A and B are shown apart, each in its own frame.
Chain A
């Protein structure tokens, strides 16, 4: 996806541009077309399957709103997956066309550096070609990590496999506590499957922990099982099939206790590793972080080798998000070829976790705000809310929640925004823009709400600071 944007940009400035894209199949054999993680095995299929799960909930609600159907409604995995894959296929095709229309040369080949300014491209058939270029941009992204235990590569799936799985995954164990783990567990449960999440320690490391725990609580109350403080140590096949039956043995992180469980599918979501180890970076002297594999760059996305740049998930200390990658890539090309000077602004980048109860956030978590500014220098305003659409169907009235963190020493500037509720992404986007404009609590209070929507709770003046009654 990022290729589309910045390569089209470069081609706009009449530069000769080539893109090499190649997908190494997963251990299970899954592969996909042009577009990268977001389009094929990330944001897009994830949001569509999340939508499928939300529609299941909508079906339940609709009865209370007067819609009549007596049958118990069941979900068909194949119908959904086929539709999703068809849409992705149209996007892959759209990218091919866009590159062609912008006169960008595209090769479906695996690229690796072999010497200064020289790259070797190997296609599916093993045919090698050499190309030289004045400048290079590395945007190879990441792939899911495996546990390194017996049976992981043979029997387990990752998000790379899930979205094109040609059979219903059935009873699933999701290993991990990342947003990938929780989002997948969330929609699988929403589609009616028996889902368990095995968590080594905390949920959503790096995110506001109070919000993370609320997400977990909600999922638990809505049918997702959690096994906390355990890690799998081996996966064995009990029965072959699509799906088959797998036996997972896990060990407690707190002691010697061992447990076993049987599942149709085991989905690993324990993290992602950059694709930087086998692309010949050593041949051209590009430094990488040996431990993580990530590439350090300066604030202009330039590596230590002056003609080699990098964008996206492979960057060290940057956010692994599609819009960030697009923004960085686009601005980079404008600086390289159009004389622009604007650098990518990585501060206050908003994000959303599409768990069954969605979580939108921008800025500091409460704990990082306390750490950076001191507890006495921040003010936290919060409120639960009950979406109007949840009243008639009697859905949870105390789960949706919003929290705004302000810096007292800086005019009560809003430095953190967190919302847990429906359409959290749509709600959060505008607030992120306002935060970019330097939003203060006073400006928040002076803005009138739109009624009745969830977002208005975030500006309602009766959000109260901690320790004070409403």
Chain B
């Protein structure tokens, strides 16, 4: 039995072969696996219709690259157009999209830097003789993170090359349903025609339009990860996961950090869990200005920024100075320069996102869209990748499988992580009625916190189930270390229609935090104290 080379995944989930030269046997085996060229009419190669490509993907991010590479596997002529409009502050980056450059990847790495700060404190309790406090240097971290991101940009370029996907670093816009043109950085006009076009241009951070000085003086997540020097005393405006995650790691590396929220944190997420996240952040050292919204940002002679805001509760106006103001008030789809109106691609009038059906098709035949740009879809890398791959398989691989957007798990990488899959408690109550759901919950303490004398007040989990008969699990929510690792496997279970009894039949792994999920037995309905002792 030939031992395979099993592709080693790149950090953004796209494929990357691990070894340079496959064996002859391997090549033959691979060739045997290639599907026969499609005979279906209308799916012919571009050359027979006079168009240069079978597929043009606009946007080289998670969704776009996954779609392009998958299509190339079917022997199709594929091109990717990727372009990064510099941020108002002038930040730009390479191939790979939001996740790789200004999202998941640098975020998780900086989150890790913050977690290591806590680990340094714990280490003393475990016998390591490290003297506190330990100082953090932003530029060392930033360089490490930025170098890694650049290696991913490079990796993507190489992969496209290996798969014979043509890469254009140009900003494209539609001239007709099968033609996209744009200018290269050098000013050369390029025209690309394709049978099928996939729009995957993603989104960019919003700036508040009603705050003077917001654009001139504030930064966003687009800039934060590329700063060469420490942001210093920072105000993060917003209540999104972007806001909380960034504020969280900034606090963790020792910076004076404040979060300003107009109303509730993590709108759309389970609100009990959202409160626990922010409660933990408060005890962690992040300052919160709740029910406040900024009115203006001015630059002081010292180069610091003076922010003025209204406190809605106290009906007062307040002010303070910061080194950095970061806007994290949402993201807007990147469609402005695409010229969608010319070709008739319909967008949602409120959000500006592209409207697609279950097969990712837009209102125009042969034009599709995947990823953050699409209306009603989760703004997540793994869903974009999966949707992009399945789309390519349907277009060129004779598959009819549609993307399943149900029960998509996710994790907020706040200082105390929050992972979840399925319905929030309030959504379950709304859908089924509180009499028809049962919520099992527990406050637990991770073993590693004991010796470290860490506060576990917000370490909590809950399972929302249907109350009748088999007690199918509707949602699972977990706050604690490694929340993503914990939730992933359970998300699989929920995809299999897991029930509460099945969870209880599963034996726990000891000692872990995840095992507490299989031991949940106290209901909210009972009113009993939900604190459990692991051992």
Contacts and interface: CB of A to CB of B under 8 A. Distances in A.
A and B together in one complex: yes
Interface of A: 1, 35, 38-39, 43-44, 47-48, 51-52, 55-56, 58-59, 61-69, 71, 73-81, 83-84, 87, 91, 94, 191, 321-324, 327, 345, 349-352, 360, 375, 382-386, 388-389, 391-393, 398, 423, 425-434, 436-439, 443-444, 446-470
Interface residues of B, number: 104
Contacts of B513: 426
A59 B128 contact: yes
Contacts of A431: 488-489, 492
Given A59-B120, A436-B493, 16 more contacts: A47-B448, A51-B447, A59-B119, A65-B116, A66-B253, A76-B128, A77-B127, A323-B508, A345-B507, A382-B4, A432-B509, A439-B492, A451-B380, A456-B13, A458-B489, A469-B29
A450 B509 contact: no
Q: Which of B119, B482, B508 has the most CB of A within 10 A?
A: B508
Contact of A443 (B109, B448, B492): B492
Q: Which of A76, A428, A455 has the most CB of B within 10 A?
A: A455
B386 A448 contact: yes
Contacts of A1: 535
B514 A75 contact: no
A48 B119 contact: no
Nearest to B23: A469
B119 to A, nearest CB: 4
A87 B453 CA distance: 10
B528 to A, nearest CB: 14
Contacts of A463: 6
A242 B38 CA distance: 76
B241 to A, nearest CB: 13
A40 to B, nearest CB: 11
9 contacts: A48-B450, A52-B126, A67-B120, A430-B514, A433-B502, A437-B493, A451-B12, A469-B22, A470-B5
B1 to A, nearest CB: 6
B322 to A, nearest CB: 21
A455 B123 contact: no
Interface of B: 1-9, 11-13, 15, 17-18, 22, 26-27, 29-30, 33, 99, 104-105, 108-109, 112-113, 116-117, 119-120, 122-123, 125-131, 134-142, 144-145, 148, 253, 380-383, 386, 389, 404, 407-411, 419, 447-448, 450-451, 482, 484-493, 495-499, 502-503, 505-515, 517-518, 533, 535
Q: Which of B9, B495, B509 has the most CB of A within 10 A?
A: B509
Q: Which of B148, B499, B507 has the most CB of A within 10 A?
A: B507
A187 B487 CA distance: 27
Contacts of A56: 123, 128
Contacts of B120: 58-59, 62, 67
A466 B492 contact: no
Contact of A433 (B112, B139, B489): B489
Contact of B141 (A66, A383, A386): A66
A69 B134 contact: yes
Contacts of B18: 384, 398, 470
A434 B492 contact: yes
